[in-house]
């Protein structure tokens, strides 16, 4: 069983008043065979957490278990994991075959078993015709497949991916995402994948761990995280363009933004005090009778759709419209609105979801 358990995991660099806590009591459970993506901005601690699971970073506090075995004090080679790095880490003087076989030879695996595993992995990754080539003769996408093949032949309990697609161009990233999805369906090995790219996270993950400043903001399926973000951070980070967030005050069932009332399609979840209203750009509709007046500033053409950026009560606001529609002109005022079911409410003091 290749499950992973993170229990109050901490990582602190330095000592005394200058100590920096990079990971702050992380708890998570990854079940056997699950594909989980850790996503967050640069510096949030996602790669540090992955390296702690791999044994490349010493854990400061808490407990990490792989397949129900606590691995805090085990060396990377003893953890039964295989890691795929961002920079491929291939031996330039070795052929593709030798790169994939190297770890097995060091482990003294019989020659015929090495050949069987390498050829099987090469078949899965469509590398069969490239086994005699050197890394310099391969494209970036092919090198990344060799790196994945080297991990596959190990037959580990857990795969760890540390931003493996960052060095690829957009087209290759999309192709390699598909290959990783097919690979997981075929092998069913527990996988922990780190990325700062929300598109990678949304398309690859069975569940996502959204991190910020060393803490977990939310754990859930892509649909849960996108549809019901737990905090304003998640709402602003997941989604492109991000969710519109407007801070205001609820007074006598009226939402006041910048001193002016903003009509609501339904009652706010609580009366009195400050609230943050959230609505995704694709959930805003143009409507001649709409309650909100949006002053257009910029329109972006993205092919099948357009993004209309403007001001709503002096707050930045974006809506997504069909690309076949005539674009509004800068300075034009659009009437827009959203249904009550599409509104999200957050506490501006804590960032936590209210409704």
Together in a domain, 218 and 107: yes
Together in a domain, 67 and 168: yes
In this structure, the number of other CB atoms found within 10 A of the CB of residue 232 comes to: 22
335 half-sphere exposure, CB direction, 13 A CA radius: 6
Q: What is the pLDDT of residues 97-156, one digit of tens each?
A: 999 999 899 889 999 999 999 999 998 888 999 999 999 999 888 898 899 899 989 889
Q: What is the pLDDT of residues 141-154, one digit of tens each?
A: 889 889 989 998 98
Q: What is the pTM for the complete model shown? A: 0.91
Q: What is the pLDDT of residues 296-323, one digit of tens each?
A: 999 999 999 999 999 998 899 999 999 9
Together in a domain, 296 and 149: no
- The CATH number for 292's domain is 2.40.50.140
The answer to whether position 282 is within a domain reads yes
Distance of CA 54 to the CA centre of its chain: 19
The answer to whether position 241 is within a domain reads no
Together in a domain, 298 and 333: yes
Together in a domain, 35 and 82: yes
Q: Work out the pLDDT band at 1, boundaries 50, 70, 90.
A: low
> What order do you get walking across the sheet with 69-70 strand by strand?
20-30, 4-13, 61-66, 69-70
E strand map for the chain: 4-13, 20-30, 35-39, 61-66, 69-70, 81-84, 158-162, 190-195, 207-212, 215-220, 244-251, 254-257, 260-262, 274-279, 285-286, 292-301, 305-312, 315-322, 333-337, 344-346
- The CATH number for 225's domain is 3.40.50.300
- Report how many domains make up the chain: 2
Domain enclosing residue 130, as ranges? 4-233
Q: Work out the pLDDT band at 31, boundaries 50, 70, 90.
A: very high
Percent of the chain, pLDDT > 90? 73
Q: Work out the pLDDT band at 324, boundaries 50, 70, 90.
A: very high
Together in a domain, 208 and 332: no
308 strand-pairing partners: 299, 319
Together in a domain, 215 and 134: yes
Last residue of a domain, one of 209, 233, 257: 233
Q: Which residue matches tokens 């609505």? A: 279
- If you average pLDDT over residues 65-77, what whole number do you get? 94
Q: What is the pLDDT of residues 173-206, one digit of tens each?
A: 888 898 889 889 988 999 999 999 999 999 999 9
Last residue of a domain, one of 205, 233, 261: 233
The answer to whether position 351 is within a domain reads no
Q: Work out the pLDDT band at 253, boundaries 50, 70, 90.
A: low
Between CA 55 and CA 61, with CA 57 as vertex, the angle to 5 degrees is 95
Query: pLDDT at position 261, please?
Result: 86
């Amino acid at each position: 069983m290749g499950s992973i358990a993170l229990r109050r995991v901490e990582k602190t660099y330095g000592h005394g008043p200058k100590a920096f806590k990079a990971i702050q009591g992380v708890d998570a459970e990854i079940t056997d065979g699950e594909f989980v993506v850790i996503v967050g901005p640069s510096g949030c601690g996602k790669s540090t957490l992955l390296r702690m699971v791999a044994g490349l970073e010493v854990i400061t506090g808490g407990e990490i278990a792989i397949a129900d075995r606590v691995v805090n004090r085990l060396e990377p080679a003893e953890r039964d994991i295989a890691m795929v790095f961002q920079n491929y880490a291939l031996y330039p003087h070795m052929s593709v075959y030798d790169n994939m076989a190297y770890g097995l030879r060091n482990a003294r695996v019989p020659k015929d078993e090495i050949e069987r595993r390498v050829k099987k992995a090469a078949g899965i990754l469509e590398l069969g015709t490239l086994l005699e080539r050197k890394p310099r003769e391969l494209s970036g996408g092919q090198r990344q497949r060799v790196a994945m093949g080297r991990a596959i032949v190990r037959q580990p309990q857990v795969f760890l991916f540390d931003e493996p697609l960052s060095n690829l161009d957009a087209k290759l990233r999309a192709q390699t995402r598909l290959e990783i999805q097919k690979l997981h369906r075929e092998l069913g090995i527990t996988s922990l994948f780190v990325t700062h790219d929300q598109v990678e996270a949304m398309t690859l993950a069975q569940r996502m761990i959204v991190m910020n400043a060393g803490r977990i903001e939310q754990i859930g399926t892509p649909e849960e995280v996108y549809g019901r973000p737990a905090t304003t951070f998640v709402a602003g980070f997941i989604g492109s363009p991000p969710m519109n967030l407007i801070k205001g005050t609820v007074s006598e069932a009226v939402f006041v933004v910048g001193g002016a009332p903003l009509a609501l399609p339904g009652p706010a979840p609580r009366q009195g005090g400050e609230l943050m209203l959230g609505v995704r750009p694709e959930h805003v509709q143009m409507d001649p009778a709409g309650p909100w007046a949006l002053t257009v500033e910029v329109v972006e053409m993205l092919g099948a759709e357009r993004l209309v950026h403007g001001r709503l009560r002096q707050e930045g606001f974006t809506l997504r419209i069909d690309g076949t529609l005539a674009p509004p002109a800068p300075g034009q005022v659009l009437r827009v609105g959203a249904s009550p079911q599409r509104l999200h409410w957050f506490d501006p003091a804590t960032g936590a979801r209210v409704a």
